[in-house]
Chain A
């Protein structure tokens, strides 16, 4: 019996990936990471807004008290939501890490 040597037939080269398939991950603003970033930006905006109205109140420039109060309440609620999401994400991560492979 003749044993033919293993040839390269059928096995494609394991050379470098072609440029087409070597795409960098796109800045995907519609994905999960994108929406987290957007939410954090909005939260930052709310904090800045509340801070700015508080500073105006301190320098006597605030025209309407409700401007500050609404901004502060929105910042508080948004922070609570963001912290809750963060905590759930951390729990989920830990759950996954505990999974037996």
Chain B
């Protein structure tokens, strides 16, 4: 790891959790995005995280977003005949997203983001103290 390597590692974690929070906010914003039954539903966004480095036995280099997976396009068929997009059976397609699940994930993502910020700040402080050696 380079001279102040911990900083980059924490920041990579922050990036992953920030993307996760972005995905959750997209899911929650679209929780009522209804489509006609002949189209796929709004698909839930899920972040795939991957570790970076560390294969050769050393400490790794953090995490990254490997990709965004999309959820079930089937969604749920809801009976809502008054909806403007309803088909002849009165059905519309809603996304397969549970608000309570997304809120739980949001808390985990936020705590993880803050944990990485704490690691970043502690590492920076440790490096600054080290620069006082011998003064």
Nearest-neighbour CB distance to chain A for B31, whole angstroms, equals 48
- Assess whether B133 is in contact with A70, with CB atoms less than 8 Å apart: yes
Please report the number of residue pairs spanning A and B whose Cβ atoms sit closer than 8 angstroms: 25
Q: Which residues of B contact A95 (CB under 8 A)?
A: none
Is chain A's interface secondary structure helix, strand, loop, or mixed overall? Answer: helix
Contacts of B130 in A (CB 8 A): 65-66, 69
Q: What is the number of residues of chain A that contact chain B, defined by CB distance less than 8 Å?
A: 12
When C-beta atoms are compared, the residue in chain B nearest to A63 turns out to be B3
Closest residue of chain B to A73, judged by CB? B134
Q: How far is the CA of A65 from the CA of B131 in the complex (A)?
A: 8
Q: Which residues 31-51 of B sit at the A interface, judged by CB distance below 8 A?
A: none
- List 11 A-B pairs, Cβ < 8 Å: A60-B3, A62-B3, A63-B3, A65-B4, A65-B131, A66-B130, A66-B133, A69-B133, A69-B134, A70-B134, A72-B134
Q: Which residues of B contact A (CB under 8 A)?
A: 1-4, 127, 130-131, 133-134
Q: Please name 12 further chain A to chain B contacts, defined as beta carbons within 8 Å, in addition to the given A65-B130, A65-B131, A70-B134, sorted by A numbering.
A: A57-B3, A60-B2, A60-B3, A63-B2, A65-B3, A65-B127, A66-B130, A66-B133, A69-B133, A69-B134, A73-B133, A73-B134
